[in-house]
A and B are shown apart, each in its own frame.
Chain A
Amino acid sequence: MAIDYEKEVGSAKVEQKFLYESGNEMAAYAAHQINYHVMGYFPISPSTEVAQFLDTMKASGQHDIMLVPSDGEHSSAGICYGASTAGGRVFNATSAQGYMFMLEQLPVQAGTRMPMVMNLVCRSISGPLNIHGDHSDLYFALNTGWPILMCRDPQSVYDMNLMALKLAEHAKVRLPVMVASDGYFTSHQKRRVQAFAHREDVHKFVGEQPPAGFTDTLDRNNPVTVGPYMNEPDYINNRYQQSVAMYNAGEVFEEIAEEFAVLTGRRYEMIEQYRMEDADVAVFLMNSASEIIKDVVDQLREQGIKAGAISPNMIRPFPQKQIAEALKHVKAITVGDRADSVGGHGGNMVNEIKAALFTYGNTTTKVISRIYGLGGKDFYAEDGHHFFQLAMDAVVADHVEIPFDYYGHNPGAPENAPKRLLKPMNFDLLKTGLITVSKNEETGKLSVRVPPVRSLMKKPRRLSPGHGACPGCGIFSGLELFFKGIEGDIVALYHTGCAMVTTTGYPYSSHKSTFIHNLFQNGAATLSGVVEMFWERKRRGELDGLGLKEDFTFVMVTGDGGMDIGMGPAIGAALRGHKMIIVEYDNEGYMNTGAQQSYSTPLGHRTSTSSIGKTQQGKLTQHKDTAQIMAATNIPYVFTGCEAYPQDMLKKAAKAQWYAQNEGLVYGKILIACPLNWMSEDKDGTDIVSLAVESCFFPLYEVEQGITNITYNPEDKDKRVEVSAWLKTMGKTRHLLKPENEPALRSFEGEVQRRWSRLKAKHEHPDL
């Protein structure tokens, strides 16, 4: 990835080279130079690229970090925690919801004093879902006990990543360290960056191995008990140790930064001050915005205004003394917080700055607090001018007119207020009567009649056109076909994923019936709650006035790895037996975040975290059989389907509805094409999923009341094709047909055949 195009020494003691790279690339670059032992990770924008770059570099043999693709951030943090107890070096990167999902693990990491380094590529937290950069995830980190280093640009992402490890492992610290940079602004913008030219110099700086003499769960001669049960009066002493270590981290950082400055010529103080020496007015901002404000300072200085800017390079421990010192003679300062501490009369930074002033006896500097740039709203130089104007106004008035406010919000024009456009869907059209399901009381079997698809063209679709999915995306052809088999009203819940983001881009929604999105992993639990509220309110007679003609069918839609991170809640909902359908569109990866491998990615398939290179040829493990896992929960109905077999899908949808209304939870998996990430032609999706069925990779079957029934057997019709006939249709798999990958191809074919043979045995024997 990195382009080396210049070597230079300059004032530095080590040889360095110039790169032109983004923040994420530099985080990965530093990690690969350090050559951490283990990284447990899970995809989330905008930090995912860090793992992707490391995977690409690993595939070409540039490092040997063990990259562990986890099943969610709670697991990735668990993997990192476990690894960090075991004596080696550990790395992770995450953002926003990923950070929130692992939050429980983070104070444990700090409280049990296990060093590691994690990059938080800052992004706003849900809900509503927003993937852009602000500091709302970062502010949750303030109380986790991790020292936090701040990065204003890709250069500092690299530098801080090197210093972070040294800080974490220092004997006086022994804490996990977070490196925080701004999502997209820093993570995705390329800049000229200097890096150590030689890995040996990096190792000289951070130490070749982690320092010995600390907890190591792999030291058999010195067994330890990690994470005991500790009540009062001991716990407060543990916490005091941690507090001392945290304040030590401030001093140790200054020592490390000095050493780093000598080596590289780049110096990081606890706070960076820009033209503050005689400043009357100042602005405090963090990370990327704190760079933009320097241009504003220059412009104001040219007008004769004594302006200055300050920003921290470290916010845990908070540089209280340094900030108080810097503001000693400043008449007014505007503090911009890129996240609110809602109800706290200011974001976290302004309140800590006020505490700093108070602690050091400064009662004269006026402080103006503004919440800005939320959800990635850009910060322009003109916004910086506004912040300085607020400070100058306060100086003139000797008073702060509005101490706390938001900046950049707008009331909106009444004429643009949303108006209802579509009428509610016509129930009589949704309930066509053309699909019938009846139970044979003697055999207990369902008999289903579905009409030709043509007759169902009158039935309203569940979605409006106008969604933003890629050309040729198989999600909505697959889902709408499934919904054609569902009669009457539905309430839908979609997990986070392509289907959700492309149908709900504010202020538009493609959903004509009620739709809920909660989180990536928690849909099954959330819809369980809706279902139970439905039945309870129905029992109490509270739904009578809401226009309902028949019971809703509750449908949860998941995909893009939602059945990895959401497996636990899905199994929980299945075991509780809520009357609902979980339907998974399987596109064989985390396509929504840039095509990372999911457990559903088959062996050898190429994704952005299962790269192809001289040391690696795609995914290393076989694909997950979610249908069989769900069947093992003994729910009444499990099915698979795809758009190439429409009558088959319609029947299964009709059965799914019957079971979800009468018995309990249903799970179905629909294989859908993702032309962008399967690297196939937009037009070929239907044929490709059809080949997946005919090669027996994706058999069409159902498990009804525990009995397996193959609904389409390509062998019966002499239509079975080789797995390779399917694989050759996609760019992500063509490498598997090369002679050097024959062992992987054979292994994959063997697994497909093994699962198919077992399925046939189950089909033949109702007891299996």
Chain B
Amino acid sequence: MPIVNELGFFEIRLESIGGLGANLAGKMLAEAGVVGAGLNGVSFSSYGSEKKGSAVKAHIRFCDMNTHIRDTSPVERPHVVGVFHEALAKTVNVTSGIHEHSTVLVNSAKTPEELRELLKVKAGTIAVIDATSIALQEKNRVNMAMLGALFRLCPFLDTDIMKGVIEKSLGKKYPQAVQSAITTFERGYNEVKFMQFELAAGDSMPLYVRSDISALGYETQPIGGTITNPGGSFLKNLSISRSGMLPVFEIETCINCAQCDTVCPDQCFVWEERPDRKGRPQMFLLGIDYQYCKGCLKCIGACPTSALSSLREQEGFADSHSVKHQFDLVTPV
């Protein structure tokens, strides 16, 4: 292994949203190390009430066969971070705890310099792979392309073993997917690009903050766990749940039938009351609040006209096209 921490571990953290297969990729990566490379290792994921589309982490530790694996705590000082979903950086500190020699791999179409800016990485290696595009082209999954790129960052792992693992885990159930998974894996391996950034003289890496410190404490938490702030979840931003596609609203062809709203799981549609042609008050659809849209696209099927259609999400589109909900606030902003 190129580098290990004081306990003898090479540590990897994967940052993703549920549904992109980071958990599976983590398991396969760890298995390739333990089964194929003669290493010892441990792998696990963060678990909670989070569902598909929510932020998740996977943790992998490698060590030699003589090192005892005792630590069950999450990887806080990773040598490699794999970011499966670029937009995560908006709400999660994906590079938390990196060293100046760590590598941050990002699924992105951006350049390493742009990503360095976006992720505010002071030093380290930025590796980029456009896993989403590769997956779309190869009709396979993002995690296979990411896995290929991660293999490049772990030179002690054997790619032939990995291909064997892919064949074994997919071959039985989805034999037709094996070849495209291997191609996707290989493209990830071959197409990843790197750029190294030195720490500026006199500068230091940000201190890591433990991930288990709560904002509310025993002096501020209402007793009994009761939540006394009704409806506060509107503060959350669910944009990261979208995995590529979003609905686009065209007001001209909308007949205000509300069928989109009826099937929307996430209250994304924003309405306004105003007089109709006969002067009677009536509800009119104004648009979509993309802060809550998870990109399920149910609304498009429900729409009887062409007012709703789907689009591959481009950066900035949601922000510039969002129609915001107005909430009845105690203290108006």
Contact = CB atoms under 8 A, between A and B. Distances in A.
Interface stretch (A181-189, A623-631, A755-763): A181-189
Interface residues of A, number: 97
Nearest to B214: A410
Nearest to A382: B210
B328 A426 contact: yes
Given A377-B212, A474-B265, A511-B230, A683 B300 contact: yes
Nearest to A299: B6
B67 to A, nearest CB: 10
- Give the 5 A-B residue pairs with the shortest CB-CB distance, closest first: A412-B217, A466-B233, A128-B225, A472-B296, A464-B231
Contacts of A188: 44-45, 47
Interface string A510-533: 111110000000000000000000
A473 B265 contact: yes
A380 to B, nearest CB: 5
Given A192-B34, A468-B54, A509-B229, A412 B235 contact: no
B70 A294 contact: yes
Interface in A450-497: 452-458, 461, 463-477, 480-481
Interface stretch (A96-104, A156-164, A498-506): A498-506
Contact of B49 (A411, A468, A477, A480): A468
Contact of A502 (B7, B51, B285): B51
Contacts, number: 292
A47 interface: no
Contacts of B47: 45-46, 131-132, 184, 188
Majority secondary structure of chain B interface residues (helix, strand, loop or mixed): loop
A644 to B, nearest CB: 8
Q: Which of the listed residues B50, B52, B292, B325 has the most CB atoms from chain A within 10 Å of its own CB? A: B52
A176 B43 CA distance: 33
B262 A643 contact: yes
A291 B217 contact: no
B212 A378 contact: yes
Nearest to A429: B328
A468 B222 contact: no
Contacts of B3: none
A250 interface: no
Given A131-B49, A471-B53, A686 B263 contact: yes
Interface stretch (A205-213, A413-421, A565-573, A703-711): A413-421
B52 A470 contact: yes
A510 B291 CA distance: 15
Contact of A465 (B18, B219, B229, B289): B289
Given A192-B40, A416-B216, A463-B231, A454 B68 contact: no
Nearest to A152: B70
Contact of B220 (A380, A414, A472, A511): A414
Given A458-B283, A683-B297, A411 B220 contact: yes
Nearest to A480: B267
A487 B232 CA distance: 23
Contacts of A456: 258
28 contacts: A5-B35, A45-B47, A190-B43, A294-B70, A295-B70, A378-B72, A380-B210, A381-B73, A409-B218, A421-B231, A421-B234, A421-B327, A422-B327, A457-B258, A457-B285, A465-B238, A465-B289, A466-B292, A469-B266, A472-B294, A504-B227, A510-B233, A511-B231, A512-B231, A646-B259, A683-B297, A683-B300, A687-B301
B296 A509 contact: no
A502 B49 contact: yes
Contact of B233 (A132, A377, A379, A503): A503
B330 A423 contact: yes
Nearest to A416: B215
A463 B230 CA distance: 9
A464 B212 contact: no
Contacts of B27: 190
Contacts of B128: none
Nearest to A5: B35
Nearest to B247: A683
A57 B273 CA distance: 58
Contact of A509 (B52, B72, B76, B231): B231
A684 interface: yes
A15 interface: no
Contacts of A288: 72
A466 B238 contact: yes
Nearest to A383: B73
Interface of A: 3, 5, 20, 22, 45-46, 127-128, 131-132, 182, 184-186, 188-192, 288-289, 291-292, 294-295, 377-381, 408-414, 416-423, 425-426, 452-458, 461, 463-477, 480-481, 498, 501-514, 643, 646, 675-676, 682-687
B231 A20 contact: no
A378 B228 contact: no
B43 A189 contact: yes
Nearest to A469: B51
Nearest to B44: A189
B53 to A, nearest CB: 5
Contacts of B257: 452-454
A295 B216 contact: no
Majority secondary structure of chain A interface residues (helix, strand, loop or mixed): loop
Contacts of A481: 262
B261 A457 contact: yes
B44 A682 contact: no
Contacts of A422: 229-232, 234, 327-330
A453 B218 CA distance: 45
Contact of A685 (B217, B222, B267, B298): B298
Given A294-B70, A471-B295, A507 B216 contact: yes
A465 B273 CA distance: 20
A425 B330 CA distance: 11
B277 interface: no
B146 interface: no
B119 interface: no
A646 B243 CA distance: 29
B69 interface: yes
Nearest to A462: B231
Given A20-B34, A190-B30, A426-B328, A507 B42 contact: no
Contacts of B31: 3, 20
Contacts of A410: 213-214, 217-218
Given A378-B73, A510-B233, A646-B262, 8 more contacts: A131-B48, A414-B220, A416-B220, A422-B230, A457-B258, A457-B271, A471-B265, A683-B297
Interface in B236-287: 236, 238, 241-243, 256-259, 261-268, 271, 273, 282-283, 285
B203 interface: no
Contacts of B160: none
Nearest to B53: A471
Nearest to B266: A465
Contact of B236 (A291, A452, A454, A466): A466
A374 B238 CA distance: 29
Contact of B228 (A291, A418, A469): A418
Given A419-B229, A682-B298, A465 B217 contact: no
Given A189-B44, A468-B49, A470-B52, A418 B233 contact: no
B91 interface: no
A457 B283 contact: yes
A676 B51 contact: yes
B263 A643 contact: yes
A481 B260 CA distance: 12
Given A411-B217, A420-B330, A508 B227 contact: yes
B78 to A, nearest CB: 15
Contacts of A469: 51, 265-266
B95 to A, nearest CB: 20
A291 B72 contact: yes
A402 B215 CA distance: 26
Nearest to B243: A471
A506 B227 contact: yes
Interface string B80-114: 00000000000000000000000000000000000
B221 interface: yes
